[in-house]
Amino acid sequence: MKSAALGLAASLAASMSGTCLAGDLKAEQKFTDTQIGFDAPASYSNFNLSISGPNGIRASAESKSGAPSIDLKSLGTLDDGIYHYELTASTGERIPLRAGLDDGREGVRPTSMLKSASASGHFQVKGGTIVKFDPAAREDVKRQK
């Protein structure tokens, strides 16, 4: 009986570990040969797009309204490999703050914040251009480490 309860608790904990304040950002990928961009509904604001890739390549872009884009050509020569992107934004919905936020300002502290949403994924670069993602290439990268 004790092991059954422990197993149930473990499976509940595992299923809940994926939940967080950030929900799924409903944004459509708009990738070209060298540009990463998204179409997102107008109900989102305060966007941040970041990418990371082989050999320490990192870039980010922000926008108050409308999803930003990043042109990989602006980063110089790109190494072939798997790149990761993350797009975050705020919804118009406010959620309560559970702990006081000390923002260093005098006066009343905020009691709520904008709810966030995010989307992330991978893309592959070959020969300096974005190509359709090949999961087998990711396995090759893992084997090389």
Residue 104 pLDDT greater than 90, yes or no: no
Is residue 36 one of the residues assigned to a domain? yes
Neighbours of 73 (CB within 10 A): 13
Burial per residue of 27-65, b for 16 or more beta-carbon CB atoms within 10 angstroms, e otherwise: beeebeebebbbebeeebeebbbbbebeeebebebeeee
Which has the minimum average pLDDT: 31-40, 71-80, 88-97, 107-116?
107-116
Specify the pLDDT at position 112.
85
Specify the pLDDT at position 65.
92
Confidence of residue 110 (pLDDT cuts 50, 70, 90): confident
Q: Say which residue the tokens 């970041």 belong to.
A: 50
Give the Cα separation of 38 and 63 in Å (integer). Answer: 12
Is residue 10 one of the residues assigned to a domain? no
Domain around 117: 21-100+108-144
The domain that holds 85 is classified in CATH as 2.60.40
119 by Cβ neighbours in 10 Å (0-12 / 13-18 / 19+) ranks as: buried
Residue 76 pLDDT greater than 60, yes or no: yes
DSSP letter at 110 equals: P
Stretch 5-14: mean pLDDT: 35
More confident residue, 101 or 75: 75
Is residue 93 one of the residues assigned to a domain? yes
**CB neighbours of 128 closer than 8 A, spacing ≥ 6?**
34, 72, 77, 78
Average pLDDT taken over every residue of the chain: 79
Q: Say which residue the tokens 């595992």 belong to.
A: 14
Stretch 111-135: mean pLDDT: 88
Is residue 68 one of the residues assigned to a domain? yes
Span 17-70, pLDDT tens digits? 233 344 589 899 999 999 999 999 989 999 999 999 999 999 999 999 999 999
pTM confidence score: 0.70
Q: Could you give the number of structural domains in the chain?
A: 1
Specify the pLDDT at position 143.
54
